[in-house]
Structure 1
């Protein structure tokens, strides 16, 4: 009885839960466009009074599936020029070691951008109010096998919809505007802590579409994950930063630059999905496979019950009926004349 129930459950699982009657298309085609909105004002001894907009803190300005949101800008050196300068460190190839005498450690003279960088670890983020900024993630998807396409934006004629909505799984599932603080919170992080040293966050958009039920059952699901969550904050691999320079020329034509070390949150946007639709070919294949499995299952259950269970003798007596009979021999005399 147990084997019969198990085979029945397996059959239901294949056809109902796993939808074995559908043809599947998992070759999703996707396009992602992002925009960031928010303005902040800072006044520091390093940079002075600055107004920050997307043109200043989004790198690069035009992005698709990768977005770097700058949370701290630390000037490493200002007005560097190409000249010779001294390094109080190991003298690498190309440098000239200068010593006062044979017993002194000396210094290394190099030709490069001087003065050299002083690397200081930041203690707090520059854009502390950036957690209230928003990211607009516009996603278009297509399943070419079924010629089906859709976007993650609500189809409405209300021009003010995107101005007043914020993503909520229950109330606004088709609002693609996310608050930065909500993204980091859903990823299990505190925005202020993450903004200090930076870090990568993955935004996964999952599309699982049952086209037999209509387009209303094809909805995006969002997942947010900090990609370096396994790295300790004390590790040298923690956070995310990079350097960039701004170049200038003075009135005499001499080149100089300002070097900045940028800490930020790096967003990786990944799109996955599959669509299913009824088709006769997978239906017939799964029916045939199910019947074959049920036959093999009967044989397997017999082996278990006949040889491996404690009640195998009782099962064997009921499965096989032994018929006893007595064979009678008769002889006939035949007279041939």
Structure 2
């Protein structure tokens, strides 16, 4: 026989929990470039994370985490009382052409459990654990239902570095794509469209080879005759 659970509201047993701190220590590796990095500063002096003045510090207060994950103050108070689940995501976006020390993660905080105002039943986050002991040859067991904050930490990242070969291949691919695009457009306009014949007549000029060749010969003969007349007229002037 076990007594039923006491579901009545009770004050928080842990006071000042908002001032507690969480130290996040993580590493990341980019094997393609052979680079490893960490989110810790070189000088591990006491610090508290601040998005403006101390954004490299990996130590966060519970108050800051809850404020980032939940905007409603009432919901934050209920999370402290009945528990909750918060995802802390570290995203690395690194430019490896610069110093590796400049590669730092960005932190985002997201609440994963359903808000209390939406689901009044099975609220928060809790778990049960037992402790057993024996006294006077009699077994005893205590079942404890604990509420708390659960932090799930996930890491993601991407990195890039300049490579001349990759740049050359990309430029060649773009040139090839533009060349194919021009060819495809010409085929559609001059062969497949309804006004293909009109388009061809507008762009291309038909030239009759024989007629054009004879006209070219006539123009060449005329130029030769003009040049001969000019030379004959210039010769007497030289003799004088």
TM-score, normalized by length of structure 1?
0.53
Task: Please say if residues 128 and 192 of structure 1, whose CA atoms lie closer than 8 Å, have aligned partners that are also in contact.
Answer: no
Larger radius of gyration: 2
The DSSP-based 3-state class of the residue aligned with 1:239 is coil
CA–CA separation in structure 1 for the residues paired with 2:57 and 2:190: 61
The DSSP-based 3-state class of the residue aligned with 2:148 is strand
Task: Please say if residues 245 and 260 of structure 1, whose CA atoms lie closer than 8 Å, have aligned partners that are also in contact.
Answer: yes
The DSSP-based 3-state class of the residue aligned with 2:26 is strand
Q: Which sections of structure 1, spanning at least 5 residues, go unmatched? A: 1-113, 329-337
- Residue of structure 2 in register with 1:265 after alignment: 149
The CA RMSD measured in Å over matched residues stands at 3.3
**1:9-46 Cα deviation digits (max 9, x unpaired):** xxxxxxxxxxxxxxxxxxxxxxxxxxxxxxxxxxxxxx
- Residue of structure 2 in register with 1:3 after alignment: none
- Residue of structure 1 in register with 2:93 after alignment: 208
- Residue of structure 2 in register with 1:143 after alignment: 30
Task: Please say if residues 232 and 238 of structure 1, whose CA atoms lie closer than 8 Å, have aligned partners that are also in contact.
Answer: no
Task: Please say if residues 128 and 144 of structure 2, whose CA atoms lie closer than 8 Å, have aligned partners that are also in contact.
Answer: yes
- Residue of structure 1 in register with 2:229 after alignment: none
Kindly indicate whether residue 48 of structure 2 is the aligned counterpart of residue 166 of structure 1: yes
Q: For 1:1-337, what aligned pairs fall within 5 Å after superposition?
A: 114-120=1-7, 122=9, 124-156=11-43, 161=45, 163=46, 165-189=47-71, 190=73, 191-229=76-114, 232-250=117-135, 252-299=136-183, 316=199, 320-323=203-206, 325=208
TM-score, normalized by length of structure 2?
0.71
Q: Which one has a larger percent helix, Structure 1 or Structure 2?
A: 2
Cα distance change, pair 256–233 in 1 and its aligned pair in 2 (3 A) = farther
Q: Which sections of structure 2, spanning at least 5 residues, go unmatched? A: 212-240
CA–CA separation in structure 1 for the residues paired with 2:121 and 2:190: 63
CA–CA separation in structure 1 for the residues paired with 2:16 and 2:146: 17
> Higher relative CO (CA 8 A, sep ≥ 6), structure 1 or 2?
1
CA–CA separation in structure 2 for the residues paired with 1:237 and 1:154: 41
Task: Please say if residues 206 and 222 of structure 1, whose CA atoms lie closer than 8 Å, have aligned partners that are also in contact.
Answer: yes
Task: Please say if residues 94 and 160 of structure 2, whose CA atoms lie closer than 8 Å, have aligned partners that are also in contact.
Answer: yes
